[in-house]
Amino acid sequence: MLEQSLIRIDGKGYKAYKDIQGEYAFPDYTLYIDYVQGDPFASPSRIRVRMEQKKARYQLEWFKDDYRRVALEDLILRKWVDKIKHYAFRVHGTGKSGMMMVDTPGQEILPRTAVVVTSEYVEVRMSVGLPAQGRRVLGRKAAQMLCQDLPQLVAEALPMEKVGLNAIEKRMRLIDNQRAIRHYLKKHHAVAFVQDGAILPRASGISDRPLSEGNVVPFVSPETMCVEINVPHGEVISGMLIPRGITLIVGGGYHGKSTLLRALERGVYDHVESDGRHYVITDDHAIKVRAEDGRRVEKVNISPFINNLPLGGETTRFSSEDASGSTSQAANIMESLEVGASTLLIDEDTSATNFMIRDGRMQELVTKGKEPITPFIDKVKQLFEEKGVSSILVLGGSGDYFDVADHIIMMDEYRPYEVTKKAKDIARIHTHNRKAEGGSFFGDVTARVMMAHSFDARKGKKEKADAKGLHQIIYGNTELDLLGLEQLVDRSQTRAIADMMRVLEKRMDGSKTLMHVLEELYKQIENEGLDCISPYQRGVHPGDLALPRMLELAGAINRLRTLKVRV
Ligand code: ADP
Ligand code: MG
C-alpha cells in the first residue's frame, strides 16, 4: 500500500510526500511516518518502527526496572547504529535524499528517546531523508528505502536474537554491577570508586575511546585504599575507594592527575563494557567546577568566598556580565550547591590561583581587609562539616592543602600511592605561617527564584531553542555558551536542555525556587518519560534526546544572559 502510494507520486512536487504521513502495517512490524519534511534540504522526516514483543521477544526481567531498561534500550540502539550505516545513502538524490539516521550514543549509557521498550513492543525512532531529484519526488527510490531496505534493517537489528542473548546478558551484568557499586558508595560513605585494571586515559583530546596505543598503565589501587566489592552474579570487583571528605590528588606534572580526575568526572554516568572506565563510579551529584571568566552571573550569593568588593559591590546577591576567574569559580560552586551538588571536583589546571590559595607571605603584604577573596582552602573543611559536601582536588602546586586534607593520593608514573601520613608529617615539620581566614562557618547557600520571562525563546515572530553541537544553544535572540559544563557529554543532552528550558519558560512564575521547579520537571520525566519535554509532544517522536543531569540543566539556566532573579 505504501509502495503503491510512493510510486504514484513519483515525479510530482515534493509536497506530494505529505500524503504518506500515517501508519503502515508490515508483516513483522508497524511503520509510522510521523513527520514529512517540507523539502529535500529541510530537517529530515521522522519515522518509527514498532515490533510487538510477541515477535521481538525481549524478556520482562531486562526492562521491568528502569535502570535495566535504559541499558537495554542503549544496547538495541547501538545495534542500529552499527547496522544502519549499510543502508544510509543507498539511494541518492538532492540534499538529504537517502539519509537514514538514528541518534548515536557515545561512551555513556544514558536515558534516551531513540529506543523505547515496553511490555507490549519495542520501538526505534529514526530520521530519513525522503529522496528527490531537485524538488521532484523520487517515488521509486523512496519505495526502495521504506519498503525494501528498511524491512531488511528491521529484521537485522530489532528482534532480540539479533541483538543477541549473550550481549544482553553481559549488558545486564554490567549495569547490575554499576548499580551495586553506586549503592556501595552510599552505604560506605564514599564518593568514588576506581576499579583495579581500569584504563583511564583516552585515545586523544577529541576521542573519548580508551587509549590503546603505546604504554597504557592500568589503574592499581593503593593498598591502603583498596576495597573488594561483592557485586551481583557472584563476582568480586576490587579497586580504590575514595571516602567522603577532602581528598587531594598530588604528583608531578604529566603523571596522570588530571586524567584520574577526568575519569571521576565522567563516573557520574555509567559507561559501556569496552570503555575502560566502566567501573569508575562517582557520586552522581559530583560536579566539576572551574574558573570561567567572562560568564554572566545573576544575583548569586557568593559571600562565603567573596566579600568587601572595592566600591562596596554586593556579594550576597552578586551579579556580573563579565565575571573574573575567582568570582566565576565562586559562583559555579554556589550555584551547584543550590541545586544539590554533594561532591566538588576541582583541577588546578582550570582554577583561578587566587581562588584556591593565598599564602602566608601574601597575607602579610595584602591584609585580609584588602582582599575580598577567602580562598577555597579556608572554606573546604567548613563545607564538608557543615553542608556534607566533599571535595576532590588536583593540586601539584600547593602543600598548604596538606593541613585540610583527609586523604592524599600521589600519582607517580600513572600509579596512585596513598601518602596521607607522609604529607601530614611534612606539614608538621615544615609549618607555614599562613592564617586560616575562613571563620568557623561556611556561610549561606541562597535559593533563588527566577522571574517569569527570564528566558524568552521568541525570535522575531517565531520561537527558537536549538542546540548547536555539544556546547551551544541558540535561545531566542541569545547565544548560550555551555563550555563551562564539563560533564555535559552528549549532544542529545544539549538538545534536551534546550527543550527543557522551553518547558520551564512557562513555569518560572516568580514564586517557586529554581530547585523546586527543577525537581518538579524531573519528577514529571520520571513518570511520563523523556518524550514529555519535546515540543513535538505526541504525534511526532523526539528520537534524539538524552537526559542531562539536573546540575547541567541548572548550569545552562544560570549562564543565560537574559536570566532575571527575583530581588
Ligand atoms: P597531569 O595532570 O598530572 O599533568 P595528565 O593527567 O594530564 O597529567 O596526563 C599526562 C599524559 O599522560 C596525558 O597525555 C595522558 O593521556 C597520559 N596518561 C595519563 N594516564 C595514563 C596512563 N594510565 N597510562 C598511559 N598514559 C597515561
Ligand atoms: Mg593536569
Q: Tell me the per-residue pLDDT of 253-289, one tens digit each, with 9 for 90 and over.
A: 999 999 999 999 999 999 999 999 999 999 999 999 9
Using an 8 Å Cβ cutoff, are 306 and 372 in contact?
A: yes
Pocket test for ligand 1, best of 240, 249, 259, 262 (most atoms within 8 A of CB): 259
pLDDT of 129 > 90? The answer is yes
pLDDT digit string, tens, across residues 483-538 = 999 999 999 999 999 999 999 988 988 999 999 999 999 999 999 999 999 987 66
Which atom of ligand 1 has the smallest separation from the CA of 415? 23
| Reduced 3-state DSSP string for 476-543 | CCEEEECCCCCCCCCHHHHHHHHHHHHHHHCCCCCCCEHHHHHHHHHHHHHHHCHHHHCCCCCCCCCC
pLDDT, tens digit (0-9, with 9 covering 90-100), for 32-74:
999 999 999 999 999 999 999 999 999 999 999 999 999 999 9
CA of 347 to the centre of ligand 1 (A): 14
Query: Rounded mean pLDDT of 295-320?
Result: 92
pLDDT digits (tens, 9 = 90+) for 170-219: 999 999 999 999 999 999 999 999 999 999 999 998 999 999 988 899 99
212 Cα: distance to centroid of ligand 1 (angstroms): 13
Given a cut of 70, whether residue 377 has pLDDT beyond it is yes
Q: Which ligand is nearest to the CA of 409?
A: 1
pLDDT, residue 537, reads 63
Average pLDDT score, the chain: 95
Residue 130 has pLDDT above 90, yes or no: yes
Which percentage of the chain shows pLDDT scores above 70?
99
Q: Closest-lying ligand to the alpha carbon of 411? A: 1
pLDDT tens for each residue of 98-112: 999 999 999 999 999
Which ligand 1 atom minimizes the distance to the CA of 251? 3
Q: Please write down the HEC assignment for all residues of 286-307.
A: EEECCCCCCCCEEEECCCCCEC
Residue 203 Cβ inside 6 Å of ligand 1? The answer reads no
In the structure, what pLDDT confidence band is assigned to residue 441 with cuts at 50, 70 and 90? very high
Look at residue 463 in the predicted model and tell me its pLDDT. Answer: 86
Find the 279 Cα to ligand 2 centroid distance in Å: 22
Spatial neighbors of 325 by CB under 8 A, at least 6 apart, are: 291, 292, 293, 352, 354, 355
